[in-house]
Amino acid sequence: MFKAMLKKEFVLVLRDKHSLAALFIMPSIFILIMSIALKDTFSDDRAFIRYNVTDNDQSNISRSLSAILDHTTNLQQYDHAITDSKELQAALNKGLHFALTIPKGFSEKFIVNTSKNLLRLDVASEVKMDMLNLFKGELSNVLMQIRIEQMLQQFEPVVPGITAQINSQAIDTSDLVNIHFNGLPPNKIPTSTQQSVPSWIVFGMFFIIIPMSTIFINERKQNTLMRMSAMNISIPILFAGKIIPYMLINQIQVWLMIGVGIFIVPFFGADALTLGNSLTGLLLVSTGLSLAAIGTSMVIAVSVNSVEQATTIGGILNILFGAIGGVMVPKFLMPQSMQMLSNISPMSWGLDGFLDIFLRGLSVQEVLTEAFALAGFGIIQLLIAGLLFSRKKRNGI
Amino acid sequence: MIRINNLSKYYGTTAALNAINICIGKGVIFGLLGPNGAGKTTLISILNGLTTFQEGEILVCDLPLRKNLREIRKRCTFIPQFLALYDNLSVIENLHFFAGIQNISGTVLQNNLDYAITTNSLEKLLKQKAVTLSGGQKRRLNIAIGLLNNPDILYFDEPTIGIDPESRNDILSTIRSLKKDNKTVVYTSHYMDEIEKICDEAAIINHGEIIAQGSLDALLQTANDNSAIIELHYSDQTSLHLLTDCIDTLQVIDGSTLKLKQQNSTNMSALLKILETKQIAVKQIRYQSMDLESLFITLTASENSHV
**What number is the ipTM of this complex?**
0.76
| Judgement on whether residues B275 and B144 belong to the same structural domain of the protein | no
Does the pLDDT at position B293 exceed 90? no
What's the whole-number average pLDDT of chain A?
86
Residue B30's beta-bridge partner residues?
B186, B201
Among chain B residues, the shortest Cα distance to A241 is held by: B101
CB within 8 Å: A230 and B50: yes
CB within 8 Å: B70 and A233: no
| Judgement on whether residues B159 and B31 belong to the same structural domain of the protein | yes
Q: At B257, which CATH number? A: 3.30.70
| Judgement on whether residues B196 and B57 belong to the same structural domain of the protein | yes
| Judgement on whether residues B24 and B164 belong to the same structural domain of the protein | yes
CB within 8 Å: A224 and B86: yes
CA distances from B44 to B50, B80, B116, B244 (A): 9, 9, 22, 45
| Judgement on whether residues A108 and A257 belong to the same structural domain of the protein | no
Range A9-18 contact pairs with CB under 8 angstroms and sequence separation of 24 or more: A9/A215, A9/A241, A9/A242, A9/A245, A9/A246, A10/A245, A10/A249, A11/B88, A11/B89, A11/B93, A12/A211, A12/A215, A12/B86, A12/B88, A12/B89, A13/A211, A13/A215, A13/A245, A13/A249, A15/B88, A16/A211, A16/B88, A18/A210
Residues of A with CB below 8 A from B78's CB? Answer: 227, 230
Of B70, B100, B145, the CB nearest to A1: B100
Burial (0-12, 13-18, 19+ Cβ within 10 Å), A91: buried
| Judgement on whether residues B55 and B168 belong to the same structural domain of the protein | yes
Q: At A91, which CATH number? A: 3.40.190.10
Does the pLDDT at position A57 exceed 50? yes
In a domain, A182, yes or no: no
Residues of A with CB below 8 A from B89's CB? Answer: 8, 11-12
Could you tell me the residue range of the domain that residue B58 belongs to?
A: 2-215
CB within 8 Å: B101 and A1: yes
In a domain, A124, yes or no: yes
Q: Where are the alpha helices (DSSP H) in A127-234?
A: 129-155, 162-168, 192-206, 209-221, 224-230
**Closest residue by Cα to residue B80 from B168, B1, B145:** B145
State pLDDT tens for residues B84-117.
Answer: 999 999 999 999 999 999 999 999 999 999 999 9
Strand B250-254 relative to strand B257-260, pairing: antiparallel
Q: How far apart are CA B147 and CA B178, in angstroms?
A: 10
| Judgement on whether residues B194 and B246 belong to the same structural domain of the protein | no
3-state DSSP assignment of residue A385: helix
**Closest residue by Cα to residue A23 from A293, A284, A220:** A293
**Closest residue by Cα to residue A267 from A45, A31, A47:** A31
* Domain-terminating residue out of B215, B249, B276: B215
What's the whole-number average pLDDT of chain B?
87
In a domain, A361, yes or no: yes
Does the pLDDT at position A73 exceed 60? yes
| Judgement on whether residues A245 and A109 belong to the same structural domain of the protein | no
Mutation to test the B interface, candidates A1, A3, A5, A8, most B Cβ within 10 Å:
A8
| Judgement on whether residues A225 and A331 belong to the same structural domain of the protein | yes
**Closest residue by Cα to residue A8 from A206, A207, A216:** A216
State pLDDT tens for residues B120-145.
Answer: 999 999 999 999 999 889 999 999 99
Among chain B residues, the shortest Cα distance to A220 is held by: B84
Q: How far apart are CA A146 and CA A137, in angstroms?
A: 14
Question: Worst-scoring range by mean pLDDT, B153-157, B165-169, B222-226?
Answer: B222-226
CB within 8 Å: B73 and A231: yes
| Judgement on whether residues B269 and B204 belong to the same structural domain of the protein | no
Number of domains in chain A: 2
pLDDT value of residue B12:
84
In a domain, A245, yes or no: yes
State pLDDT tens for residues B195-238.
Answer: 888 999 999 888 899 988 888 888 777 666 677 888 888 767 77
Chain A: closest CA distance from residue B242 (Å): 54
pLDDT value of residue B7:
93
| Judgement on whether residues B85 and B152 belong to the same structural domain of the protein | yes
Q: How many CA atoms lie within 13 A of A315 on its CB side?
A: 9
Does the pLDDT at position A100 exceed 60? yes
When pLDDT is averaged across residues A233-239 and rounded to a whole number, the result is: 92
| Judgement on whether residues A53 and A167 belong to the same structural domain of the protein | yes
| Judgement on whether residues B205 and B271 belong to the same structural domain of the protein | no
State pLDDT tens for residues A9-54.
Answer: 889 988 888 888 888 888 888 888 888 877 766 665 555 788 999 8
pLDDT value of residue B76:
93
In a domain, B116, yes or no: yes
| Judgement on whether residues A325 and A252 belong to the same structural domain of the protein | yes
Could you tell me the residue range of the domain that residue A325 belongs to?
A: 2-40+189-394
| Judgement on whether residues B144 and B237 belong to the same structural domain of the protein | no
| Judgement on whether residues A256 and A330 belong to the same structural domain of the protein | yes
What backbone phi and psi angles, to 5 degrees, belong to A362?
-85, 170
Does the pLDDT at position B83 exceed 80? yes
Chain B: closest CA distance from residue A269 (Å): 41
More confident residue, A144 or B302: A144
Number of domains in chain B: 2
Residues of B with CB below 8 A from A8's CB? Answer: 86, 89, 93, 97
| Judgement on whether residues A160 and A204 belong to the same structural domain of the protein | no
What backbone phi and psi angles, to 5 degrees, belong to B26?
-65, 140
CB within 8 Å: B83 and A223: yes
Of A3, A226, A227, the CB nearest to B100: A3
What is the greatest pairwise CA distance in chain A? 105
Strand ranges across the sheet with B153-157: B76-79, B153-157, B184-188, B29-33, B201-206, B209-215
State pLDDT tens for residues A153-177.
Answer: 888 888 888 888 887 877 776 677 7
Residues of A with CB below 8 A from B87's CB? Answer: 222
CB within 8 Å: A8 and B83: no
Rg (CA), chain B: 24
In a domain, A184, yes or no: no
| Judgement on whether residues A209 and A145 belong to the same structural domain of the protein | no
Q: Does B93 touch chain A (CB under 8 A)?
A: yes
CB within 8 Å: B89 and A230: no
| Judgement on whether residues A224 and A371 belong to the same structural domain of the protein | yes
Distance of CA B22 to the CA centre of its chain: 14
| Judgement on whether residues A245 and A358 belong to the same structural domain of the protein | yes
* Domain-terminating residue out of A109, A141, A175: A175
What backbone phi and psi angles, to 5 degrees, belong to A88?
-60, -45
In a domain, A32, yes or no: yes
In a domain, A73, yes or no: yes
Does the pLDDT at position B51 exceed 50? yes
Mutation to test the B interface, candidates A13, A224, A392, most B Cβ within 10 Å:
A224
Q: Does B131 touch chain A (CB under 8 A)?
A: no
**Amino acid at site B305:** S
Q: Note whether A353 and A288 are within 8 A (CB).
A: yes
Question: Worst-scoring range by mean pLDDT, A171-185, A247-261, B63-77, B94-108?
Answer: A171-185
**Between A and B, how many residue pairs show a Cβ–Cβ distance under 8 A?**
68
Q: At B148, which CATH number? A: 3.40.50.300
Does the pLDDT at position A294 exceed 60? yes
| Judgement on whether residues B235 and B190 belong to the same structural domain of the protein | no
**Amino acid at site B87:** D
When pLDDT is averaged across residues A178-186 and rounded to a whole number, the result is: 72
Neighbours of A166 (CB within 10 A): 14
In a domain, B81, yes or no: yes
Q: How far apart are CA B52 and CA B71, in angstroms?
A: 17
Q: Where are the alpha helices (DSSP H) in chain B?
A: 40-47, 69-75, 91-100, 106-119, 135-146, 165-178, 192-198, 216-223, 237-243, 265-277, 292-306
Of A7, A222, A232, the CB nearest to B70: A232
CB within 8 Å: B74 and A232: yes
Residues of A with CB below 8 A from B104's CB? Answer: none
Does the pLDDT at position B169 exceed 80? yes
pLDDT value of residue B307:
46
pLDDT value of residue B264:
80
| Judgement on whether residues A54 and A33 belong to the same structural domain of the protein | no
In a domain, A183, yes or no: no
| Judgement on whether residues B12 and B83 belong to the same structural domain of the protein | yes
| Judgement on whether residues A169 and A207 belong to the same structural domain of the protein | no
Which run of H or of E encompasses B83? none
